[in-house]
Amino acid sequence: MLKLSGLGKSYPHPSGAVTVLSGIDALIEAGERVAIIGPSGSGKSTLLALLSGLDQPTSGTIELAGKVLGSLSERELTATRARYLGIVFQQFHLMGHLSALENVTLPLRIAGHVEVETRATSALQDVGLGHRLNHLPQQLSGGECQRVAIARAMVGEPPLILADEPSGNLDAKTGDQVMQLLFDLVRQRRSTLVLVTHNEHLASWCDRRLLLSGGRLVDV
């Protein structure tokens, strides 16, 4: 599903470039659930931004379903992301002026689907929000917002879900419920999951744990 080869990322800075990732090699098979753990500042979000095609590496390559992300045109990258990826962020990143339903139809519209509302409604029902279709994010609780974000990530049935500390903004109980839901959906759909977390308990729900340390990934 994902192949990382010699992946490196440095950020330029007036006081000298900051190297966050240096020479990462990793293979993630379809259907695997992989936790990426590591202390704050170790580069977990940086790595996920590269995997999601939102940022470009300084060196090395990422293959997603056999496509080298760096070799794609802007249009091909957009199409590839729409087809293969669902992303869940710590801060939800919902569109504040759009209802829950409209937020979930967006990825389907971008992918050129028709009958988007039926599918989006069903995705929201799957996360237990069939009764909140027309609510704006500000009218929803944090846990509900993250459920909308999960519905948005999964509505197009992408084979790969990337999640960056998805329960990091929720209280422990709500966070656990949301994560249980995410894992249930991933299991039902046999999706591949890459979960960034500094929560050891959540990491233990995954098939494999990779520790990001000193710019490199190691199996732990």
Residues that bind Mg ion (CB under 5 A): 44-45
Rounded CA separation 95/104 (Å) = 10
Least Å distance between CB 116 and ligand ADP?
Answer: 32
Buried b (16+ CB within 10 A) or exposed e, 76-100: ebebbbbbbbbbbbbebebeeeebb
Least Å distance between CB 36 and ligand ADP?
Answer: 9
Rounded CA separation 112/68 (Å) = 23
Interface residue with ligand ADP, options 46, 90, 146, 199 (CB under 6 A): 46
Length of the chain: 220
Q: Which option in Mg ion, ligand ADP, none does residue 29 bind, with CB closer than 5 to 8 A by kind?
A: none
- Single-letter amino acid, residue 184: D
11 binds ligand ADP (CB under 6 A): yes
Count of beta carbons in the 10 Å neighbourhood of residue 142: 16
Count of beta carbons in the 10 Å neighbourhood of residue 70: 14
Least Å distance between CB 220 and ligand ADP?
Answer: 15
Interface residue with ligand ADP, options 18, 95, 172, 218 (CB under 6 A): 18
With contacts defined by CB under 6 A, name the span among 12-20, 23-31, 67-75, 80-88 that binds ligand ADP.
12-20
Interface residue with ligand ADP, options 14, 16, 41, 112 (CB under 6 A): 41
Residues binding ligand ADP (CB under 6 A): 11, 13, 18, 20, 38, 40-46
